[in-house]
């Protein structure tokens, strides 16, 4: 292990442990193997972590606490455009997953084995992220920019879109993390946005909504008139 600061050494241990946990499972990897992967003694690993549970807890907290903090920050930033708010949420969450794809895969595989502290942190973070996505979608619906959808189900779906690349992303692949995040963010927004001509603008939302409704009724009346009558 190269001589770097304490945080750098911890990061090296966590990266090595994440790869081993993916390859062998949490129960199949030992502290000795983690040390060997780094080319150091077990004592060097034990200096930072007492056991595998501590390593797993650190892995979880690195991803989940950051996910909670980042999504909450984006959700709190003032913006009048619901599309840009949702786009930013999806983009930053996807980038977080891609920059910690090994850690995320470990969390996914060991969720039911997590130590209490890590389990609680993971559950709290997931609820916070879900709530931030849900509120962003609800606000877009209320503003007349998004279609009327079940905000919570849609939020679950979009978070799944952000998370799935962890299982196929390769840093050396044809597309960079940034390109993938941009694509997913655009797909997410387009999945809920209303057609431009049907988005409500300005403060006269009720009047615009009524105008759109009248337009639809007029169109429906024409369709009924053109429908051949039986007999």
Architecture of the domain spanning 55-199: Orthogonal Bundle (1.10)
pLDDT band at 3 (very low <50, low <70, confident <90, very high): very low
pLDDT band at 181 (very low <50, low <70, confident <90, very high): very high
Q: How far is CA 211 from the centre of its chain?
A: 37
Backbone angles phi, psi at 146, to 5 degrees: -105, 155
Architecture of the domain spanning 1-50: Orthogonal Bundle (1.10)
* DSSP designation for 175: S
Contact 140/55 with Cβ under 8 angstroms? no
Which two three-digit tokens encode residue 4? 């770097």
Which two three-digit tokens encode residue 20? 């081993």
Top-confidence residue, 199 or 161: 161
Q: At what angle do helices 6-24 and 101-110 cross, to 10 degrees?
A: 50
pLDDT per position as a tens digit, 126-136: 999 999 999 99
The domain limits of the chain are 1-50, 55-199, 203-231
Q: What is the spatial distance between Cα 153 and Cα 151, in angstroms, rounded to a whole number?
A: 6
What is the CB neighbour count within 10 angstroms for residue 114?
A: 20
Q: How far apart are the first and last CA of the chain?
A: 88
């Amino acid at each position: 292990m190269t001589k770097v600061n304490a945080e750098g050494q911890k990061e090296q241990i966590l990266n090595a442990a994440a790869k081993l946990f993916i390859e062998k499972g949490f129960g199949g990897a030992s502290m000795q193997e983690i040390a060997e992967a780094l080319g150091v003694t077990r004592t060097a690993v034990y200096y930072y972590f007492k056991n595998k549970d501590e390593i797993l807890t650190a892995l979880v907290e690195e991803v989940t606490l950051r996910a909670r903090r980042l999504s909450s920050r984006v959700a709190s930033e003032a913006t009048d455009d619901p599309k840009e708010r949702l786009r930013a949420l999806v983009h930053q969450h996807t980038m977080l997953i891609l920059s910690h794809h090994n850690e995320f895969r470990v969390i996914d595989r060991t969720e039911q084995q997590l130590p209490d502290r890590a389990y609680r942190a993971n559950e709290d973070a997931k609820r916070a992220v879900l709530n931030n996505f849900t509120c962003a979608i609800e606000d877009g619906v209320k503003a007349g920019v998004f279609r009327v959808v079940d905000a919570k189900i849609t939020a679950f779906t979009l978070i799944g879109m952000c998370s799935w690349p962890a299982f196929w992303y390769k840093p050396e692949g044809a597309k960079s993390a940034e390109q993938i995040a941009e694509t997913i963010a655009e797909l997410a927004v387009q999945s809920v946005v209303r057609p431009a001509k049907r988005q409500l603008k300005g403060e006269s939302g009720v009047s615009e909504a009524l105008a759109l409704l009248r337009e639809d009724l007029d169109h429906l009346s024409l369709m009924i008139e053109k429908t051949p009558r039986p007999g």
